[in-house]
Structure 1
């Protein structure tokens, strides 16, 4: 008797319309956010350098700097920059640990990815409270 061949699983490329339904693992989400936070920091670098220049040039420019930072929109941009830095930093530590083979198993990788998200969001909330004068 001949054995019945099992059908091999068929893997297809994902179409753009299927992206909404695709469930990315936590490690994948952290990886994408790591890239996005790096791009955010790079794109906002001229803004950060302008703020630094305004804060150290003279007392008058520091007063202009303080007045600029009192606006709500600028504080939101700074909060996004703070999140970008903190997430990039935490995820970078995670990726360095993965490079030395710490936490490379699937469950450990998922736990470290969730930990990166939670830690970076908690630190962002703490710095956000300080930025908006609530802490």
Structure 2
């Protein structure tokens, strides 16, 4: 063997970021799904912040504005039926719940990192997803007047 091949460094594996098109075919373990949804829920809350401010302001300003607020969700507003506005609010409810519960999971893992394992990550992700979906269904049923 020549000296040039003996002293050549071993080629390290190359890791690349995945592109947007391969996100669909990418294998999403439960922990990465919960973490990715945490980011998505934060973005949803950020982009819907003007809507949240409008809802708060309109609901507390006066009796007339409160009537306009309730009419937006019962009859509709801006040519969009009230049912779709309720779906937007349901998405906001899910985003808030998921971001809060997944955030608590992340804080726990950050402060107790010596107890974190792959199995712990999978189990806590399942708890986060189950709790978030359950609470969203319960609050969504209330939002749509099922109870």
* TM-score of the aligned structures, taking structure 1 as reference length: 0.87
1:24 paired to 2:36: no
1:66 paired to 2:70: yes
Structure number with greater Rg is 2
- For the residues of structure 1 that align with 2:37 and 2:26, how far apart are their CA atoms? 17
How many residue pairs match? The answer is: 129
- For the residues of structure 2 that align with 1:134 and 1:19, how far apart are their CA atoms? 36
Cα offset for 1:21?
Answer: 2.5
1:13 paired to 2:16: yes
Q: 1:10 to 1:18 in 2, by over 3 A?
A: farther
Consecutive unaligned residues in structure 2, runs of 5 or more: 1-10, 75-81
Residue of structure 2 equivalent to 1:35: 39
Consecutive unaligned residues in structure 1, runs of 5 or more: 1-7
Cα offset for 1:67?
Answer: 0.4
Q: Give the SS at the match of 1:63.
A: helix
Q: Give the SS at the match of 2:36.
A: helix
Equivalent residue runs for 1:1-135 within 5 Å: 10=13, 12-13=15-16, 16=19, 17-70=21-74, 71-101=82-112, 103-135=115-147
| Cα deviation digits, residues 2-47 of structure 1 (max 9, x gap) | xxxxxx9955536545433321221111111101100100110100
* TM-score of the aligned structures, taking structure 2 as reference length: 0.80
Which of 118-127 and 26-35 deviates more?
26-35
